[in-house]
């Protein structure tokens, strides 16, 4: 039998790690969750009212506080901005790296913590913060593996590659199942995570995530604005019902268009290609150009559809006062719970033999 997990969820956001733990079907509970974002905490408490959700700086977490909670696992997704192009890659010089550095500083005193799972953006693996993480967990007697995983590798229609570390205090038999990161190609990732029990069925194509019927009265609420069609039509990533891929949805989805996520079209790719081809010689300022593109009925994905690409189940909901824009931002900062639930299972060595 696996250990009963008593989890401290740090940088908890809307509760992605908690959702992943719930979907893993492992015996355990989240004892406390900590995040500085009050809206994210509101969403977390709405879905998990039994959990102590604390709005505080991670730097205020002390070894005594963690010991009092009686936790044996820490699940965390630290801020990614210090390691992204948009965040200028300041790494440890970015003030948003301070909370992670603090947790690593007190880790030697957290002697009852047996499991650690970390998620971050691609690029973290070659950062100074990544070096510090590896050095600290090793110093503290953990064995670990690092993985770069995109949901696409598990058949989920969303390109969202992320860095993951799973660490277990020695001895850690789970390491026998996982080769070093540089030896993990897509086929091995699919084999490794595909052998884990999964109660929650993940989507495999865009049709699986759709919330709005194409003839829905609400469809028009998500249509792309005219200025986006005029100025950005040729850089859109368009997904259709059979599509098995969407771009990574970021917190800026709908606010900006380029590089923030895909848009949906109810027509097939052949129709899309014909419409685009017919506009090539049109004046982009003309009404004809706009009217022609409008026939494609291109729309943004709804927050629930974005949520489904992250594999959150439909029981996960939001308080009534959380706006659509806030939902997009919160989801853009969250995790793919399908991937993490399988990593949690592997971490506690419950691979289905």
Same domain, 192 and 62: yes
Tell me: do 232 and 181 sit in the same domain. Answer: no
Q: Does residue 313 lie in a domain region?
A: no
Q: Are 40 and 14 in contact (CB under 8 A)?
A: yes
The DSSP annotation for 148-215 comes to EE-GGGGT-S----EEEEEEEESS-GGGGG---GGG--HHHHHHHHHTS---SPPP-SGGGT--S-TT
Are residues 103 and 62 part of one domain?
yes
Residue 253, beta-bridge partner list: 256
Please indicate, yes or no, whether residues 144 and 217 belong to a single structural domain of this protein.
Answer: no
Instruction: Report strand pairing: 162-169 vs 142-149.
Output: antiparallel
Could you list the residue range(s) of the whole structural domain that residue 186 is in?
Answer: 5-199+336-347
Residue closest to 75 by CA, chosen among 35, 129, 124: 35
Measured CA to CA in angstroms, residue 252 lies from 46, 212, 265, 332 at distances of: 24, 21, 20, 7
Alpha carbon 206 to chain centroid, angstroms: 17
Residue 264 φ/ψ, nearest 5 degrees: -110, 140
CATH number for position 37? 3.40.50.150
Cis peptide bond prior to 171, omega within 30° of 0? yes
Task: Quote the pLDDT of residue 192.
Answer: 81
Which DSSP letter does residue 264 get?
E
121 and 231 in a single domain? The answer is no
In a domain, 61, yes or no: yes
- Spatial neighbors of 266 by CB under 8 A, at least 6 apart, are 214, 240, 241, 297
Beta bridge partners of 6: 29
Task: Provide the pLDDT for residue 353.
Answer: 37
| 98 falls within a domain | yes
Number of compact structural domains in the chain: 2
Q: 10 Å Cβ neighbour count for 235?
A: 9
Give the DSSP letter of residue 353: -
Instruction: Confirm whether 231 is domain-assigned.
Output: yes
Residue 123 lies in a domain: yes
Residue 80 annotated in active site: yes
**Same structural domain, 222 and 174:** no
User: What pLDDT, on a 0 to 100 scale, did the predictor assign at position 1?
Assistant: 56
What is the predicted pLDDT for the residue at 142?
Answer: 94
DSSP characters over 100-151: HHHHHHHGGG-TT--EEEEEEETTGGGSHHHHHHHHHHHHTTEEEEEEEE-G
* Residue 254's CATH number: 3.90.120.10
Q: What is the pLDDT of residue 274?
A: 98
176 and 226 both lie in a single domain: no
Residue 153: burial class (beta carbons within 10 Å; 0-12, 13-18, 19+): buried
Q: What is the secondary structure of 162-176 as a DSSP string? A: EEEEEEEESS-GGGG
Is the distance from CB of 173 to CB of 349 less than 8 angstroms?
yes
Co-location of 52 and 181 in the same domain: yes
Query: 266 near 212, Cβ under 8 Å?
Result: no
pLDDT at 174: 63
Does one domain contain both 187 and 237? no
Mean pLDDT by 10 residues, the chain (353 residues): 88 97 94 97 98 94 97 91 57 73 96 96 89 96 94 94 94 72 82 68 94 97 96 96 97 93 98 97 95 98 98 96 98 96 85 39
Does residue 137 share a domain with residue 46? yes
| CA angle in degrees (0–180, nearest 5) for 154-335-187 | 20
In a domain, 170, yes or no: yes
Q: Is residue 159 part of a domain?
A: yes
| Closest to 75 measured CA to CA, from 8, 27, 16, 26 | 8
The active-site residue, picked from 80, 247, 265, 311, is: 80
Q: Are residues 179 and 278 in the same domain?
A: no
* Residues 60, 154 within the same domain: yes
Question: How do residues 144-187 score in pLDDT, each as one tens digit?
Answer: 999 999 999 999 999 999 999 999 998 777 666 787 787 888 88
Q: Is residue 318 part of a domain?
A: no
pLDDT of residue 38: 97
Helix (H) or strand (E) holding 348: none
């Amino acid at each position: 039998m696996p250990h009963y997990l008593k989890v401290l969820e740090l940088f908890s956001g809307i509760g992605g790690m908690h959702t992943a733990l719930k979907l893993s079907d492992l015996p355990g509970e989240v004892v406390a969750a900590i995040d500085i974002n009050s809206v994210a905490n509101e969403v977390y408490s709405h879905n998990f009212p039994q959990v102590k959700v604390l709005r505080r700086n991670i730097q205020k977490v002390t070894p005594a506080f963690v010991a009092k909670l009686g936790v044996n696992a820490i699940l965390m997704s630290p801020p990614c901005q210090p390691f992204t192009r948009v965040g200028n890659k300041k790494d440890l010089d970015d003030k948003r790296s301070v909370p992670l550095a603090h947790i690593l500083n007190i880790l030697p005193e957290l002697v009852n913590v047996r499991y650690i799972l970390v998620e971050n953006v691609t690029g973290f693996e070659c950062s100074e913060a990544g070096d510090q993480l590896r050095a600290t967990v090793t110093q503290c007697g953990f064995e670990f593996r690092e993985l770069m995983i995109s949901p696409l590798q598990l058949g989920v229609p969303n390109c969202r590659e992320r860095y993951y570390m799973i660490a277990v205090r020695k001895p850690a038999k789970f390491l026998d199942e996982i080769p070093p990161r540089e030896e993990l190609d897509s086929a091995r990732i699919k084999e490794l995570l595909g052998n884990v029990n999964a109660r929650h069925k993940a989507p495999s194509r865009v049709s699986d995530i759709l919330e709005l019927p194409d003839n829905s009265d609400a469809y028009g609420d998500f249509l792309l604005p005219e200025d986006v069609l005029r100025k950005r039509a040729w850089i859109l990533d368009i997904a259709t019902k059979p599509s098995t891929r969407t771009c990574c949805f970021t917190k800026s989805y709908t606010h900006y268009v380029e590089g923030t996520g895909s848009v949906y079209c109810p027509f097939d790719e052949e129709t899309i290609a014909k419409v685009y081809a017919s506009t090539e010689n049109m004046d982009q300022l003309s009404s004809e150009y706009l009217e022609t593109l409008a026939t494609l009925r291109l729309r943004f994905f709804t927050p629930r559809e974005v949520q489904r690409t992250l594999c959150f189940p439909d029981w996960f909901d939001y308080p009534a006062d959380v706006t659509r824009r806030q939902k997009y931002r919160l989801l853009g900062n969250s995790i793919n719970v399908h991937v993490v639930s399988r990593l949690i299972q592997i971490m506690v060595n419950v691979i289905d033999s």
